Structure 1
Amino acid sequence: MGSIFFRIYSSMLLAFLSIAFAAYVGIAQVNQYRLSEYLDQVAKGTFTLIAEGLARHEGVKQLQWLEAVKRLTQLDLSIKSLAALPLSSGETSQLLNQHFLIKANHKEELALIYVKVPNQSHLYLSGKLKDINEPLSRVTALLILNELGRNPKETRLQVLKQLQSRFGFPIAKVDIYQSGLRGSQINRIKKGDTVVLLESTVSDQPKIFVYAPYGNSGDLLTLGPIPLFNWYPKNLLALLGLLAISLAAAMSYLCVKPLEGRLKKMTEQVSSLGLRGQFSKIDVKGSDAISDFARQVNQMSLQIHSLLENQRELTLAVSHDLKTPVARLKFRMAELEELLSDYMDPIGLPDCEQTVNGIYRDIKQLESLLQEILSYASLDRINNNMEQSPFDLGVETQTLASELSLTYPTLTITQPVAPFTAFGNPQLIRRAIENLLSNACRYASGTIEICLKQTSNLYIVTIIDDGPGIAEQQAQKIFEPFYRIDSSRNSKSGGSGLGLAIVEKIAHLHHGQARLLKSSHGATFEICWPKP
């Protein structure tokens, strides 16, 4: 058993490791895409303004301007030619077409940003960026103010609107006293300083707000809110956790499913022994505990099958052997009756005749029992490929009702008169209904009703009597061979105890079932089998 659990646990461990690796790769790819989209929204405008600033200078002044920006932003910035950039052919093509490229690196949690310097086809601005920080935010505000300062006052608002299209966060000009800043912060701005605020709550993503003096107008240039990049947001972790749990459940099921399938096969074999005594050997592979158990089940099934076969053979042999002495006994009783009539004193003859008649009844009952045993045993020899054909079940029930009405003239048997075509073995179905009707006639007080109906996939025969009924707890036991009910239904039957067992076996041969339905009075039996 240990080897089974070792295989299961090792398979599940391997599955969990695979899921963990897939989750790592998945979240890395997602974050790489998210980082590229994020920086495209919040950093593209800043780097574009830096590149435009470089384009306005040449030679030493260009390098000095770049060094000033590097010092203010604290970023690793450089100017390179296209050939010097570490790009693939696809990335190079994208940079040439869009003049801007973000190359995210999830391992180092940073991005390489490349921007074409305007009007200088051979120069590209290269920089490394992890996230939007305070120095970069300050420089962004200064670059925007510098761009506005290069334009006449009357066009600056229009230029500000044009610059807004480059940034993924709001840019606006507001009155300093309507900004919501505290007094100390306003004083800093009046001195020419730029104020950067970080707002963070437990339930919300951290954001940056930038406030810079808008020249000497007394107004403010505001940037933000600028969201900081969250590598592991709650919704992403929740989705990843849900996918991981789903994959783990699926892989666990796949690990256990083969074991479940093998156990199911053994269950089916044991069930087949219980229902029909059939034997089908389980295909045993491997040498684990389940395989050993399957071998034991095969051996046990073979032994049980042999015992059942021996029981059937014994029943048939005993029944056949008993038929001969019963026949001889009947013949000798007939001879004894003739001798008694010839030599017996007429005064004592009635008593002798009563005794002889009693013996005849006992012999008849014994003969009937033997016939039922033979019939019950013969059903075991019928396989699932028995002959079946369409037949008129309505005519069969009418014939049976007429025959039983002669035997039980005090009973009223109602049956359908319309034709009812069914499919099955006519002889066996007739025998099953005959047993149910005979059983009902023995216990009914006055009326018996036969109902025939069909659904889209079933034939259903229902027989209702107004007798004493059967307790609910005995509903299943009554179909067992030789089971007798200790109630008024058994007081006068004289039955063999095999009639209902034969009905159930015939129903099983037709892949159907026989059952006792709940009823407020009397007994209601039903036999149903599927349509072809």
Structure 2
Amino acid sequence: MNSIFLRIYAGMILAMLLVGAFAYGMVQLVNDYRSDLYREQMAHGTFYLMARGLQRQAEPEAQEARRELLTRLMGAEIELRDEHTLELSYRERMALEEGRVVMRVADPRSFADIMFQLPGESRYIYTRMDKVSEQQARATALLLLDELAQYPLAEWDAQFMHLQKQFGYPIARQPLAALRLDTEQRQRLARREVVLALDESPARNRSTVMVYAPIGNTGDALVLGPLVLFDWLPLEMSVLVGVLGLLAMGFVTYFLVRPLQARLRKLDNAVRQLGSGDLDARADVRGQDAIGQLGATFNGMTEHIRRLIESQREMTRAVSHELRTPVARLRFGLEMLADCDDGDERRAKLDALDRDIEQLDRLIDEILTFARLEEGTPAIEFKQVDIQQLFEQICAEIAPISGEHLTLRDATEWLRLGPVQRNADGEQRYLHRILQNLVTNALRYARSEIVLRYYVQGELAVIEVADDGPGIPFNERERVFKPFARLDKSRHRASGGYGLGLSIVQRIVEWHGGRIDVTDSDSGGALFRVSWPREQRSGQHVLGSRGAEN
């Protein structure tokens, strides 16, 4: 995915899915824990009163009768079991020893096994309930009244404070006249019945249940509640999940944008360095996306600017030096011509001046050609070029000027190359210029023979031009491609040329995504080897490719 925005959007969508899954899992986990805690708190007071009533029975028969009474009150079988019959886990055992109610919920819609340890004993109250109904609420009120009946009325307030710690909801004693009940509910209280009142709220989680039971003839009523229905997703949890979701989204967004910002900062620093004149500035922002491509283009542009400036400096120095000699000869020739009276001598000096002017014209033409090549890299339209035809054209052009003592030979085994291998992608006129310059350069130094050769090496097309001249020293082989480069006396400028031909060849080869090397030929002279991809991408630009390499 090369688009930055697509990567960010994809990352954001993935983050949303991950946050949603995390939030859902967290809510489920927290709600499961809260629901277990809610059920245990609601049941704790009831089972505490059941345990107190059972332990008050000293005789086994009385205890059994009490158990049966509790079974009828609760609407579920109440049992007394030993630990080995319950198969308690470590967590359940620890909870029971702490005096808590333990519930094993098989399925929220099925049943639950409820256990509570008798204080100070190794026996446990055990029951299985498939639903919670009004019967359990009324049983709790009756058990609470039974517990209070064991104490004088004066101690009830203290007992209320003690028992309140065992319940997960408020318990209180209030005058009957203070209760907000309708006529039917008051009549039921007068008949000594336990009354349940549901205070319904528009929001289900705000609905509550109140339990009222008359306390004998005291004129008071026992009030249990409000019992708040379980809220599966309270406001606090919704806020918490929302905050955590926003934090997670911000965290993910930060790590998505941070690398992008860092790469843009590197690019900005490189631009600032270049603006301050540092031509070695490079933007280290690798990648295949838009910023990576921009960084590659910037690096290629910087390299191109540096090369242009260096070339301009070298050219300025070299041109001033190269022009000085023919201009000095022209000035000297004009002075000599002014003092010359003989016609033949005057004509000879005019011919010499004409040759110097021609030399200046050729030099200026080479300089202009090199300058045009250095102005920028064209968008080359690569086409299939027949290399055999190109070789035949060059040989036909060079043969008239090679002389009788020099042989130009094509050593390519064309018969072994199929029609496809004989073709390579390139610009016809530029490939012609490469071969022409190399052969012309070899003409200046070859003693008796120049050899051309073409072959295919993997995905590369390779052209070789070899001569049997003095060769190029190893330490001079890199400098030979620099404009106006001067080599040792074995290949000095007396042979002609201005040192621009090989610079032009190198630049064209770079446009084709290739390279040029120089080594020794079999006959001891110089061998120039040009290699480039046989298949090119249409419209390729050297700035992009060079930038990517840098």
Q: RMSD over aligned Cα, in angstroms?
A: 4.0
Separation in 2, partners of 1:209, 1:192: 16
Counterpart position of 1:146: 146
Task: Give the direction of change, closer, same or farther, for the CA distance of 1:129–1:52 in structure 2 (3 Å limit).
Answer: farther
SS of alignment partner, residue 238 of structure 1: helix
SS of alignment partner, residue 123 of structure 2: coil
Counterpart position of 1:274: 275
Task: Give the direction of change, closer, same or farther, for the CA distance of 1:195–1:272 in structure 2 (3 Å limit).
Answer: same
Amino acid of the structure 2 residue aligned with 1:137: A
User: Is the CA contact (8 Å cut-off) linking 1:199 and 1:206 kept in structure 2?
Assistant: yes
SS of alignment partner, residue 262 of structure 2: helix
For residues 68-121 of structure 1, what are the alpha-carbon distances to aligned partners after superposition, in whole Å with 9 as ceiling and x for unaligned?
64565456865433223353324323423x232445879849986431134652
Counterpart position of 1:295: 296
Counterpart position of 2:96: 95
Separation in 1, partners of 2:75, 2:256: 54
1:214 correspondence with 2:194? no
For residues 376-409 of structure 1, what are the alpha-carbon distances to aligned partners after superposition, in whole Å with 9 as ceiling and x for unaligned?
xxxxxxxxxxxxxxxxxxxxxxxxxxxxxxxxxx
Counterpart position of 1:15: 15
- C-alpha displacement of 1:254: 0.6
Instruction: Summarize the alignment of residues 64-103 of structure 1 with structure 2, pairs less than 5 Å apart.
Output: 66=67, 69=70, 72-73=73-74, 78-96=79-97, 98-102=98-102
Structure 1 unaligned blocks of 5 or more? 322-532
For residues 134-165 of structure 1, what are the alpha-carbon distances to aligned partners after superposition, in whole Å with 9 as ceiling and x for unaligned?
44322211111122234455555544443233
Counterpart position of 1:46: 46
- C-alpha displacement of 1:234: 0.6
Query: Who wins on radius of gyration, i.e. which is larger?
Result: 2
Amino acid of the structure 2 residue aligned with 1:215: G
Separation in 2, partners of 1:287, 1:188: 82
Instruction: Summarize the alignment of residues 156-195 of structure 1 with structure 2, pairs less than 5 Å apart.
Output: 156-195=156-195
- C-alpha displacement of 1:239: 1.6
Separation in 2, partners of 1:164, 1:19: 41
1:26 correspondence with 2:26? yes
Instruction: Summarize the alignment of residues 40-439 of structure 1 with structure 2, pairs less than 5 Å apart.
Output: 41-55=41-55, 66=67, 69=70, 72-73=73-74, 78-96=79-97, 98-102=98-102, 108=108, 113-118=114-119, 120-126=121-127, 134-153=134-153, 155-202=155-202, 205-283=206-284, 285-309=286-310
For residues 345-371 of structure 1, what are the alpha-carbon distances to aligned partners after superposition, in whole Å with 9 as ceiling and x for unaligned?
xxxxxxxxxxxxxxxxxxxxxxxxxxx
SS of alignment partner, residue 181 of structure 2: coil
TM superposition score normalised by structure 1: 0.50
Task: Give the direction of change, closer, same or farther, for the CA distance of 1:314–1:182 in structure 2 (3 Å limit).
Answer: farther
- C-alpha displacement of 1:295: 2.1
Q: % of aligned pairs identical?
A: 35
Amino acid of the structure 2 residue aligned with 1:299: G
User: Is the CA contact (8 Å cut-off) linking 1:209 and 1:225 kept in structure 2?
Assistant: yes
Separation in 2, partners of 1:87, 1:17: 39
Amino acid of the structure 2 residue aligned with 1:213: P
Separation in 2, partners of 1:105, 1:6: 47
**Between Structure 1 and Structure 2, how many residues are aligned?**
319
Separation in 2, partners of 1:25, 1:269: 47
User: Is the CA contact (8 Å cut-off) linking 2:40 and 2:100 kept in structure 1?
Assistant: no
Task: Give the direction of change, closer, same or farther, for the CA distance of 1:277–1:170 in structure 2 (3 Å limit).
Answer: same
Separation in 2, partners of 1:107, 1:317: 94
Separation in 1, partners of 2:256, 2:235: 31
TM superposition score normalised by structure 2: 0.49
Separation in 2, partners of 1:148, 1:92: 30
Counterpart position of 2:358: none
Task: Give the direction of change, closer, same or farther, for the CA distance of 1:302–1:210 in structure 2 (3 Å limit).
Answer: same
User: Is the CA contact (8 Å cut-off) linking 1:28 and 1:106 kept in structure 2?
Assistant: no
SS of alignment partner, residue 173 of structure 2: strand
For residues 328-353 of structure 1, what are the alpha-carbon distances to aligned partners after superposition, in whole Å with 9 as ceiling and x for unaligned?
xxxxxxxxxxxxxxxxxxxxxxxxxx
Separation in 1, partners of 2:227, 2:164: 13
- C-alpha displacement of 1:245: 0.8
Amino acid of the structure 2 residue aligned with 1:15: A
Q: Which has the higher contact order (CA 8 A, sep 6+)?
A: 2
Separation in 2, partners of 1:140, 1:264: 71
User: Is the CA contact (8 Å cut-off) linking 2:266 and 2:285 kept in structure 1?
Assistant: no
